[in-house]
Structure 1
Amino acid sequence: MSDSHQIVDRAVHVAWQPRAPAAEAVRVILARLSVSPAHERTRCMAIAGCQPSEGRSTFVANLAMAALQAGETVAIVDAARTGARQRALFGWDDNTTSAPAGTAVELSALHIVTHDREGRSLADTVTDAPAYLGTALAELRARHDRVLIDISADAHDLDALNAARQAGAAVVLFKRDTTRLARANRLLERLSETDAAVLGSVLAPR
């Protein structure tokens, strides 16, 4: 196995079961984003959620895998303040002694980013110094076809709002039978008040 191959977690079903309905649903979402009137803005987008455990990080990983399979170069900005998972999902978690159970795939076109060039944690810059995040995103956009930002959900939506502003676009993830309608509407309303394009919402399964 070459260095560019990694062991991908089973939660990344686009890699594990590329013909399964769940994988096809992710590819449909990617296709719709690609033909959106706001297509250029879909190249860099924040994935926002209302609360933890909605499946946001898993969705980001699957969307990234679908883009890789479509021949794109992808950067994931793992800016989750708690429970950052992207490196683990793609078998790059340096804090574990064994890779997650999964399947080996070619990932040379994937870049997972947690810090900027100066060593600043991008999770910390989201609300404390969003201009730094904006600079990092501009650099990533210049080198990748698509940039996805995985951010933590918080009660005041500060991470979602700031990341969306810097990215210029956002997709909102809800979880069936878990996300409260009033909470979802509040997040969508707040995002609509920013300069970011709200590209749509995704309903994650239970």
Structure 2
Amino acid sequence: MAFFKKNKALGDGLSAETMTKGARLIAAAEPKNPVSEQFRTLRTNIDFASVAKGNVKTLLVSSALPSEGKSTITANLAVVYAQQGKRVLLVDADLRRPTVAITFDVTDNHGLTNYLADAHSELGSIIHHTRMDTLDVITSGPVPPNPAELLASARMTTLITQLRDHYDLVIFDVPPFLMVTDAQVLMSRMDGVAIVVSGGRTTKGALQRTSEILKIAEAPVVGFIYNDQDQKKKAGSGYGYGYGYGYGDAK
């Protein structure tokens, strides 16, 4: 699999700290930081890759395994798209290990599961505004006993259609591919899929299995985001990244 040259300091993975304190929104707090510029570069690369797919208005971001940095990357990616002037919605569809509510300081956790489980729930009740004028979020809501079933429901399909009509870009943060089926049930309804790959955690076997799943499902993959966690150990500076297109052969 081919990746671009690695750079410095991307962000942290879904560690215990991320779960309790939220992802670090460096793109919002320090827009002139070189790390923030890397997120803008990532945005540009995704836009270029999306050209062949048509207008990508719904983007699913996942990883093969836990703790590969997908929630930090997803949150900051939503921020840089909003900074571009687009109306962006970030949906926390990780109904098992949610992070969006705490990341964006949303105290009302009336969210996605409330809407999917209650046919009388209104869409406006689960959309939360952030401190950025053009960025809204939908939190996960209470952790349900049946996440995959809720995400596979007809009500979820209808919701995705409605959100596409109201936003320039809707980004879905979903659980890792190899842990549960949640991401797989949503893939066919997305315009684009991006996979986070960790240099310090993703094994060759995990990457191969993920690639096979994507091929079988004919997923609209726009690329792989390479998160080099070894950079943090080497330089104390954080994470490097690269961006790859297509499936590759996981060599």
Measured against the shorter chain, the TM-score band is: 0.7 to 0.9
Corresponding residue number in structure 2 for 1:35:
48
- The structure with the larger Rg is 2
Counterpart check, 1:20 vs 2:41: no
Instruction: Give the secondary structure class of the aligned counterpart of 1:149.
Output: strand
Corresponding residue number in structure 2 for 1:111:
136
Corresponding residue number in structure 2 for 1:4:
none
Contact 1:126 1:133 in 2 (8 A): no
Q: 1:92 to 1:115 in 2, by over 3 A?
A: closer
From 84, 90, 93, the counterpart of 2:104: 90
Identity of aligned residues (%): 24
From 178, 181, 194, the counterpart of 1:171: 194
Alignment of 1:40-59 (within 5 A): 40-59=54-73
RMSD of the alignment, in Å? Answer: 2.7
- Deviation per CA, 1:37-84, whole angstroms, max 9, x where unpaired? 235353211101111111111111000000011001111111112221
- Deviation per CA, 1:88-140, whole angstroms, max 9, x where unpaired? 11121347xxxxxxxxx842322212479xx9x7x835666343322111111
Unmatched 5+ stretches in structure 1? 1-7, 96-104
Q: 1:128 to 1:200 in 2, by over 3 A?
A: closer
Q: 1:10 to 1:86 in 2, by over 3 A?
A: closer
2:151, 2:57 → 1: CA distance?
24
Residue type at the aligned position of 1:62: N
Instruction: Give the secondary structure class of the aligned counterpart of 1:141.
Output: helix
Corresponding residue number in structure 2 for 1:182:
205
Q: Give the superposition deviation at 1:181.
A: 1.6
Contact 1:33 1:39 in 2 (8 A): no
> What TM-score results when the alignment is normalised by the length of structure 1?
0.79
Contact 2:43 2:81 in 1 (8 A): yes
Instruction: Give the secondary structure class of the aligned counterpart of 1:188.
Output: helix
1:137, 1:50 → 2: CA distance?
23
